Amino acid sequence: MKRRVALKVLAASVMAASLPAVGHAEGFPDKEITLIVNYGAGGGTDLSARVLAKGAEEFLGQPIRVVNKTGGSGTVGPTNIAAAEADGYTIGIASFSPMAVSPHLTPVAYSLDSFDFILGHARYRSGISVGKDSPYQTIEDFLDAARSGQEITYAATDTLTKIFMAKLQQELGADFKAVNYKSGQESVTATIAGVVDFNLEGPTNVVPQVKSDNLRLLASVSSVPWFEMPDVPTIKDAGVDLFVESYAGLAAPAGVPEDRLKVLEDAFAQALNDPEVQKTMSGLGMEPAYFSSAEYRTLLEEGYASMDSDLEIIGLK
């Protein structure tokens, strides 16, 4: 008897769950939104996503719950976004690397078409920094040494910077040797300890060490100088026409109703405009940078397309 009742309850709940969700476009959002972050809690990407989410809550009138789905070089997060229901209540970080680079290297269960992009919100920057006892005082010293063909070691943490270094090596006729590290923190430590000659990390890890006089930033290798150290030139200023850049943005699973996407884009764009949010993001070493939904998609598509030949340069394709 008991069992039969239990079965009925089970059947009823299964039926309830399979009823289609009714969307109220004008009432969106009427419940909590989940934001999936593809990197670990407490890192730069995570904390800036949390700050941005906190800002957007005000405009959405609903809480945003941040969930970390880490692993697979940041591809597990987007996999979960792509698989979520396209109702606008599950969104997440779709950063440049897992969107444009990883699909070339690893089988992933998504493509750029699996997503509707909400906006791009930040730029990851990189720079060449050396230990304080390094012989290279300026970017020119560094480039001269590289052109002479002497072996120079660097700490490598991701594919994008490795591609950049391979291009720079071709351009200069240099002999760069990559030593692989798993995090920016580790690669900065190795530079301070003198294990490698330089690294290509971003402001999050490098700026505190420059302030503490453990590292010297020679040049930004992004398209812009670092706003934390505006006096340090870009490598383009030094006559090398190359740069490497990566971005963070938000995406929803493909198929979210237009009007809901608009609500999300507006809310996050407004949050990104908030000086408080910008200040906190900057403090974390992320440069707030707004790209509209369409701009962000183009950025990723171009990046994805160019990656085929780029990966060939470093022998991964």
Six token digits for residue 31: 């419940």
Grouping H, G, I as helix, E, B as strand and the rest as coil, residue 27 is: coil
Strand order in the sheet with 175-180: 175-180, 151-156, 198-199, 127-131, 215-220
- If binding is defined by CB under 8 A, does position 69 make contact with another protein? yes
Six token digits for residue 117: 């992009």
Distance CA 146, CA 282 (A): 32
Residue window 117-156: x/- pattern of binding to another protein, with contact defined by CB under 8 A: ------------------------------------x---
- If binding is defined by CB under 8 A, does position 46 make contact with another protein? yes
- If binding is defined by CB under 8 A, does position 283 make contact with another protein? yes
Nearer to another protein, 118 or 190 (CB): 190
Grouping H, G, I as helix, E, B as strand and the rest as coil, residue 21 is: coil
- If binding is defined by CB under 8 A, does position 54 make contact with another protein? yes
Nearest residue to 145 (alpha-carbon basis) of 198, 214, 193, 189: 198
Nearer to another protein, 212 or 309 (CB): 212
**Of the listed pieces 61-69, 117-125, 224-232, 289-297, which binds another protein according to CB under 8 A?**
61-69
Identify residues 218-277 at the interface with another protein (CB under 8 A): none
**Of the listed pieces 8-16, 136-144, 178-186, 267-275, which binds another protein according to CB under 8 A?**
178-186
Among 86, 112, 145, 195, binds another protein (CB under 8 A): 195
Nearest residue to 33 (alpha-carbon basis) of 99, 84, 79: 84
Give the nearest distance from C-beta 58 to another protein in angstroms: 14
Six token digits for residue 175: 């002999």
Contact status, residue 69 vs residue 77, Cβ threshold 8 Å: yes
- What are the residues facing 288 on neighbouring strands? 122
Contacts with another protein, residue ranges (CB under 8 A): 41-44, 46-47, 50-51, 54, 66-73, 75-76, 79, 105-109, 153, 158-159, 177-182, 185-186, 188-190, 192-196, 204, 208-209, 211-212, 214, 280, 283-285, 316
